[in-house]
């Protein structure tokens, strides 16, 4: 039932949303009276570097509430040509309709929770997050919200790929976009142009990875 429900809704979503947006849609961490809104609709923000006048960076405690940070960059040449073609006669947003109701989304949210995460993968998640706190170039490492974000997003990624268990590769794939915005790099390291993304990549490179056999449900 779980694979059918998730794949059914995802197939209805994929023409209108990026895969990463779908993960974000389901598991944004929310507090302070807005949880009911987020459970059914999700919540996000867009930051453009060239439009920061009169604004202030979010405090680390606020950034930590966002499940992931995705850097889109510029489209490829062929994609940008496609953008022109799609908007030649009308805007694509005019074709967007309802693809799933709230009840379906909430049902899938509950089903995803049953995706198996082995003790070895759970330990890998926590060791990965703790390694960001102990890194010599890091002033402030990821909070436990980073562990929870990897745990939940790993379940979603596994389900979308038709599996009922999370692999270490799922966690490695998600770690940069789940953890980077939760890490503060030391000032001296920033002067060397070291980024939080590079810190996560470095940690992923040396941290022992559990075998696939330990991740599969027995």
Distance CA 170, CA 164 (A): 12
DSSP per-residue letters across 92-132: GGGG------HHHHHHHHHHHTTSB--HHHHHHHHHHHHHH
Query: What's this model's pTM, rounded to 2 decimal places?
Result: 0.73
Counting as low any pLDDT under 70, the low residues of the chain are: 1-57, 218
Task: Please tell me the total number of residues recorded for the chain in this structure.
Answer: 218
User: Which residues are bridge partners to 184 per DSSP?
Assistant: 140
Q: Of 178, 182, 166, which is closest to residue 64 (Cα–Cα)?
A: 182
Burial profile 51-64: b = 16 or more Cβ within 10 angstroms, e = fewer:
eeeeeeeeeeeeeb
| 137: CB partners within 8 A, 6+ apart | 185, 186, 189, 194, 199
Distance CA 66, CA 88 (A): 35
**If you search the block for the tokens 């439009």, which residue do you land on?**
51
First vs last C-alpha separation in the chain = 20
CATH of domain 2-215: 1.10.8.80
**pLDDT value, residue 25:** 39
Domain ranges of the chain: 2-215
> What are the Cα distances from residue 123, in Å, to 62, 65, 75, 130, 147?
26, 22, 37, 10, 10
**pLDDT value, residue 70:** 84
**pLDDT value, residue 214:** 78
């Amino acid at each position: 039932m779980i694979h059918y429900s998730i794949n059914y809704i995802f197939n209805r979503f994929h023409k209108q949303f990026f895969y990463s947006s779908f993960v974000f849609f389901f598991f944004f961490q929310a507090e302070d009276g807005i949880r009911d809104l987020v459970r059914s609709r999700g919540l996000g923000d867009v930051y453009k570097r060239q439009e920061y006048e009169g604004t202030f960076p979010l405090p680390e405690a606020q950034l930590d509430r966002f499940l992931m940070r995705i850097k889109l960059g510029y489209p490829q040449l062929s994609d940008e040509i496609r953008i022109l073609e799609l908007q030649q006669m009308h805007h694509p947003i005019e074709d967007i309709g309802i693809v799933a109701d709230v009840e379906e989304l909430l049902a899938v949210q509950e089903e995803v929770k049953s995706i198996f995460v082995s003790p070895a993968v759970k330990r890998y998640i926590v060791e990965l997050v703790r390694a960001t706190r102990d890194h010599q170039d890091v002033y402030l490492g990821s909070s436990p919200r980073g562990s929870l974000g990897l745990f939940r997003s790993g379940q979603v990624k596994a389900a979308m790929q038709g599996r009922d268990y999370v692999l270490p590769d799922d966690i490695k794939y998600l770690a940069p976009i789940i953890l980077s915005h939760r890490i503060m790099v030391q000032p001296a390291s920033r002067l060397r142009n070291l980024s939080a993304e590079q810190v996560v990549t470095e940690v992923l490179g040396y941290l022992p990875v559990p075998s696939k056999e330990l991740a599969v449900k027995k």
